[in-house]
Amino acid sequence: MPALKGATAPIYFGSFIVTPQVFHTTPLTFALVNLKPILPGHVLVSPRRVVPRVTDLTPAETSDLFLTVRRVGRMVERVYGATSLNIAIQDGAHAGQSVPHVHAHIIPRKAADLDHAGGMDAIYDLLDGDEGDLGKAFKNAVSTEEGDQSIEVGNGSTANSGRRSRFPVVDNDARKPRDEEDMRTEAEMLAREMENEPLD
Amino acid sequence: MPALKGATAPIYFGSFIVTPQVFHTTPLTFALVNLKPILPGHVLVSPRRVVPRVTDLTPAETSDLFLTVRRVGRMVERVYGATSLNIAIQDGAHAGQSVPHVHAHIIPRKAADLDHAGGMDAIYDLLDGDEGDLGKAFKNAVSTEEGDQSIEVGNGSTANSGRRSRFPVVDNDARKPRDEEDMRTEAEMLAREMENEPLD
């Protein structure tokens, strides 16, 4: 079930269907909430077309992607009471990309928000550690579901098919990954907030 | 003296004149080589207009900035024999921005390129450490020059006016910041390479 009203076709992030996590779409771009946000409001923006590298994007896709990054970034900064944003793209495997589908991380920041984790710059350790490893997080979600005899096969829904999370907790700070319902609730809230966000 | 043929007006990065470092311009965007590159080919792309935040950009500036990031990224990846790129924007002071002028870092990456520094993810420690602190690097350049009795005042050139570097070496790996001539030489090379780079 899509979080976004009017969404029809499933939306893919790499090989994963992420429709319930998606809170904003344009003809060329979509924005989704994160399975394991590093900080509140940590979201991703991707092209609709599944391509691994920024250079694989057309100029129209490039413009649309970053106009969406700008607009979504402004929205999450407002909604989560932040004052700055980290925007980061791991463009290729040797830059740390774990899902071979272009995606910009947008992470709202505020003063002293990572003092407990080692200070402002800890964001990058988190982004490149287990917390930021989207491939691992998605694969864990899938394999956990696949190992569960109660999984509904062939329901055409998502890779993470919506029960309470049994993801392994791999974070040092014991932060829990969210289940589909948590993500859908946040995505619905952010979809409403996007309606209030000026177009330019 | 500009590295880029045909450049006329001085180009500002924050309050610093960086004309000799600039290797590419569009009507709205410029790209410059870095005073203290974290890895070979680490360059910056900024809007011509000095504004601190991505949201301060117009949609036209946003599109042009990231079309330039895509094209410059492809060029430096080719020229420096890399296989991936880190693209990062510290959008605001609480995200680690040290010069209040929008700038995207583009850092070419290849397998095992940071094994000596702790592995792939060390890029972020470097970006947020002294090595990536553009504000500090530029201010050191200026204050060092100002403390030098031989400085030529009022010659209308740059903040870093072109003699052998006397920057304090603050890096653990003793990597030296470059002087203006080194940067101009690289900028001239990259300006030629940009002429070979497809527009789309």
User: Which tens digit of pLDDT belongs to each residue from A56-82?
Assistant: 999 999 999 999 999 999 999 999 999
Contacts of A82 in chain B (CB under 8 A): 94
pTM for the model stands at: 0.81
Q: Report residue A7's pLDDT band, with 50, 70 and 90 as the boundaries.
A: low
Residue B192 has pLDDT above 80, yes or no: yes
Contacts of A52 in chain B (CB under 8 A): none
Residue B57, chain A, CB below 8 Å: the answer is: yes
The alpha carbon of residue B69 is apart from the nearest alpha carbon of chain A, in Å, by 9
Higher pLDDT, B8 or B132: B8
What does the pLDDT average to over B94-104? 96
In this structure, are residues B87 and A91 in contact, taking their beta carbons and an 8 Å threshold?
A: yes
User: Which tens digit of pLDDT belongs to each residue from A8-17?
Assistant: 789 999 999 9
What does the pLDDT average to over B118-136? 71
Contacts of A200 in chain B (CB under 8 A): 58-59
ipTM of the complex: 0.81
Query: Does the distance separating the beta carbons of A124 and B125 come in below 8 Å?
Result: yes
Q: Report residue A200's pLDDT band, with 50, 70 and 90 as the boundaries.
A: confident
Q: Highest mean pLDDT: which of A8-12, A125-129, B147-151, B186-190?
A: B186-190
pLDDT at B85 (0 to 100): 97
Q: Report residue B29's pLDDT band, with 50, 70 and 90 as the boundaries.
A: very high
d(CA A51, CA A41) in angstroms, rounded, equals 25
pLDDT at B168 (0 to 100): 28
pLDDT at A5 (0 to 100): 78
In this structure, are residues A46 and A30 in contact, taking their beta carbons and an 8 Å threshold?
A: yes
A116 is catalytic: no
pLDDT at A174 (0 to 100): 47
d(CA A57, CA A53) in angstroms, rounded, equals 7
By CB atoms closer than 10 A (0-12, 13-18, 19+), residue A12 is middle
pLDDT at A37 (0 to 100): 92
Task: Show Cβ contacts of residue A23 under 8 Å, excluding neighbours closer than 6 positions.
Answer: A3, A4, A31, A32, A33, A43, A186, A187, A188, A189, A190, A191, A194
Higher pLDDT, B46 or B153: B46
A96 is in an annotated binding site: yes
Q: Which of A102-111, A166-175, B67-76 has the lowest mean pLDDT?
A: A166-175
pLDDT at A134 (0 to 100): 77
pLDDT at B141 (0 to 100): 64
d(CA B185, CA A7) in angstroms, rounded, equals 52
Q: Which of A40-54, A101-115, B174-188 has the lowest mean pLDDT?
A: B174-188
B97 is in an annotated binding site: yes
Higher pLDDT, A5 or B52: B52
d(CA A19, CA A29) in angstroms, rounded, equals 13
pLDDT at B49 (0 to 100): 98
pLDDT at B108 (0 to 100): 97
The alpha carbon of residue B39 is apart from the nearest alpha carbon of chain A, in Å, by 12
CB pairs under 8 A between A and B: 143
Q: Could you give the domains of chain A? A: 10-140+175-183 (3.30.428.10)
In chain B the first and final C-alpha atoms are separated, in Å, by: 30
3-class secondary-structure state, position A145: helix
Cα distances from A94 to residues A22, A89, B45, B67, B123, in angstroms, run 27, 12, 21, 22, 11
Candidates A28, A45, A54: best to mutate against B (most CBs of B within 10 A) is A54
For residue A97, give both structure tokens.
Answer: 């990309």
pLDDT at A124 (0 to 100): 72
B99 is in an annotated binding site: yes
Catalytic residue (choose from A24, A42, A101, A103): A103
Q: What percent of chain A has pLDDT over 90?
A: 58
pLDDT at B162 (0 to 100): 30
pLDDT at A157 (0 to 100): 34
Higher pLDDT, B125 or A41: A41
Q: Report residue A142's pLDDT band, with 50, 70 and 90 as the boundaries.
A: low
pLDDT at A156 (0 to 100): 33
3-class secondary-structure state, position B50: coil
Q: Report residue A84's pLDDT band, with 50, 70 and 90 as the boundaries.
A: very high
The alpha carbon of residue A87 is apart from the nearest alpha carbon of chain B, in Å, by 5
